[in-house]
Amino acid sequence: MKDYIKHDEWSIIEEGFIPAYNRISESIFSIGNGRFGQRANFEEQYSGDTLPGNYLAGIYYPDKTRVGWWKNGYPEYFAKVLNATEWIGIDVSFDGEVLDLAKCEVEDFRRELNMKEGYLERSFVARMESGRRVKVHAKRFCSIVQDEVGALRYSITPLDFSGTLSLTPYVNADVINEDANYDEKFWVEVDKKVKRRQGYVLAETKKTQFQACTGMKFSIHQGGKEIDFNAYRLQKEKYVGCTVDLPCEEGQETVVYKYASNVTSMNHDKGELMDLCKQHVKSAFKQGFDALLAEQAQAWKNKWEEADIHIEGDVAAQQGIRFNIFQLYQTYTGEDERLNIGPKGFTGEKYGGSTYWDTEAYCFPFYLATADQHVARNLLVYRYKHLQKAIENAEKLGFTDGAALYPMVTMNGEESHNEWEITFEEIHRNGAIAYAIYDYIRYTGEKEYLSEYGLEVLIAIARFWAQRVHFSERNGQYMMHGVTGPNEYENNINNNWYTNYIARWCLSFAMEAIEYVEQNAPDRYKAIEEQIKFYKHTETKQWKAIIEQLYLPKDEELGIFVQHDGFLDKELLTVDDLRPEDRPLNQNWSWDRILRSVFIKQADVLQGLYFFEDHFDDGTIRRNFDYYEPRTVHESSLSPCVHAILAAKLGREEKAYEMYLRTARLDLDDYNNDTEDGCHTTSMAGTWMAFVKGFGGMRTYNDRLAFRPFITKNWKSYSFKVRYRGSYIEVRVGGGKTQIINHSEQEVPMVLYGEEQTLPANGQLEAAFPTH
């Protein structure tokens, strides 16, 4: 855990340059707009430790799989989001001496991510090797209004000398991915153009043949006025730039305004990319930096008015939740059903930028309650459009008759993860896909989704589970062997409780969906039945038998669900038995030692109790929480939020706050020593869940929105807003009471502290905190 980020309600602030933390800061201070994103790399050259990153939504490369021992069923590639053309670069030198902070004494360094208005700002004074001192101030943003445009302002002032300043704004597609399996470069040049103050590079990815054009246009100001200049044009492979030499006087500020655009063949015809990029760049140049920034600030103001969470009395908690919400909105807008949310968003290469089950289990509830309904729907449609690929994935593993196994990792629906214990065994991911459909219908009331898209997915998933289990003659029950649950510190186990439970639930929910569509959309049902060759009587008969006889491990004496067969035979230590130097285990222990230990990477049994809490009484949840929470090391970013929600439900205020703060500040404080690889974007939605479902107690029961808020002693008050079935609802908690305010024209049936009520249109409800 690190503590170098200054606490502030609306900004992420770093004061003082610590080179050893630079990669962490590059992740934390990343900016994006849902269409592209940029790590917080420096504009000027930097020869120190850095991970360059400009990422374009949907653009990937199928990097050939590299494993020591090939196994049948392995995917042939690992899909990777690509580091794309560098658009922020400006080389700076004085009389031939290059400005490079790795070779300077750095003073007054300050970096700020302004979340309120959506920009990154950096300033410093550098003493160069010659002894010369220069002051730099830079500001940049990725426009969320014009989502193919970025802009930056870069000012430089010599403090104690005069001389010749050389500036080289450029765009550079000769970039690498640090995680490339074979040290391969993934971009080839198609075309490039450079003029006096403009430059464009059109590049294409190998194999996938995506094209992207990145361009720039810049102006230079001195003495507060734009100046004319002559530029030396630079061209080399996949690179264009313009070098400008200027006289600079001591104390005189020189400002470069650089406007850039990234356009791709994901969204436009290849033949028009160069011209379109030029249009965007010229339009941004004409509009000007200040106008673009004002437009950006207004757009972010509108977002915050709808989705802000306000906490009074705890700056660390406030900063954490706003940072998480900010990064989520920078990553995914929901306007393009072809896109999804990678675990690192636009902040790093790790995990390939691909889609995981994280989306359905953690991100989906956030977008469901904070954005227009079509945003969450598009996440479901994304999986529907990959259904045929999911069926093909299952076929590669020997499944038949339309059974579908959704991939653990994907860009296009095809499995691209190549660790056998994950690819073949972490099959609970199928359950998360089905659960998201259920969650959507429960929250929105749009049951019609089942007939349009949902039923086909649910039947294909049910077919998979029906083939994946086997009947044990010796025990007289169905079982599931050779799996990995959410706790990835256990592999190739038998009868993981969570996997078995969600498989059984999937079969039950599929049958409910079948009945609904058959009764309410008979023509559509008939068409589906014929299309997928579904034999209702035969198939559902088997499903019912599995539901009734599927083994769910339980220990009657302890009154808990057993994570998997043999779990209770381990050495039953708790986290308190670990030495501080052991943590995190995945960086200090051998994998063999981890697998043999009792320690849990992330919520496993507790993940099931969170999903299906209405299936269990509080006593059951409490006993399992008390058993598994002390053995969980939370070395997955996805773990603390589930524990926070369950702790809140059980009235464990201090544990709920501890887990909330851990998930909210996971990256800001680098809890797991891995933020340098990128922020944990998908777990950031878990932070929102921990707050709204934990402290706010928000649930949906029987077509009613329910709240049971409480407030931790660390806070004076808090408030949040959600959308629900066309209504816009605000929750305010503090002063011993809860207020629910309806900012819409329709009344809302709801439950407040267990009591059914009606929230009037444009009205409010108020209730004192329960005394018990």
Active-site residues: which are they? 488
Question: Among 691, 730, 740, 731, which Cα is nearest to 712's?
Answer: 691
Task: Give the H/E segment covering residue 202.
Answer: strand 198-205
Q: CA-CA distances (angstroms) from residue 83 to 173, 174, 268?
A: 9, 10, 20
Q: Are 604 and 498 in contact (CB under 8 A)?
A: yes
Q: CA-CA distances (angstroms) from residue 118 to 145, 259, 301, 643?
A: 11, 16, 9, 31
Q: Is the peptide bond before 584 cis (omega within 30 degrees of 0)?
A: yes
* CA atoms of 522 and 524, how far apart (whole Å): 5
Pairing state of beta strands 211-222 and 254-264? antiparallel
- Looking at the DSSP bridge assignments, the partners of residue 729 are 722, 742
Pairing state of beta strands 198-205 and 187-194? antiparallel
* CA atoms of 51 and 37, how far apart (whole Å): 14
Q: List b or e across 61-96, with b for residues whose CB sees 16 or more CB atoms inside 10 angstroms.
A: bbbeeeeeeeeeebbebbbbbbbbbbbbbbbbbbee
Query: For the chain, how long is the longest CA-to-CA vector?
Result: 89
Quote the Cα angle for 516-521-524, to 5°.
115
Return the residue matching tokens 């999937």: 506
Q: Are 732 and 769 in contact (CB under 8 A)?
A: no
Q: How far apart are the first and last CA of the chain?
A: 37
* CA atoms of 323 and 319, how far apart (whole Å): 6
Q: Within 10 Å of residue 159's Cβ, how many Cβ atoms?
A: 13
Q: CA-CA distances (angstroms) from residue 208 to 55, 185, 205, 237, 415?
A: 16, 13, 6, 21, 16
Question: Among 652, 587, 664, 595, which Cα is nearest to 625's?
Answer: 652
- Note the Cα 694 to chain centre separation in Å: 20
Quote the Cα angle for 366-367-368, to 5°.
90
Question: Among 366, 433, 352, 353, which Cα is nearest to 32's?
Answer: 353
Q: Are 481 and 494 in contact (CB under 8 A)?
A: yes
Q: Are 647 and 655 in contact (CB under 8 A)?
A: yes
Rounded to the nearest 5°, which phi and psi values hold at 97? Answer: -90, 120
- DSSP conformation class of 410: B
Quote the Cα angle for 702-708-710, to 5°.
165
Q: What is the CA radius of gyration of the chain?
A: 27
Please give the full DSSP string across 45-101, using - where no structure is assigned: ---SS----EEEEEEEEEEEP--SS--TT--SEEEEEEE--B-S-EEEEETTEEP-G
Question: Among 509, 500, 496, 481, which Cα is nearest to 550's?
Answer: 500
| N residues, the chain | 772
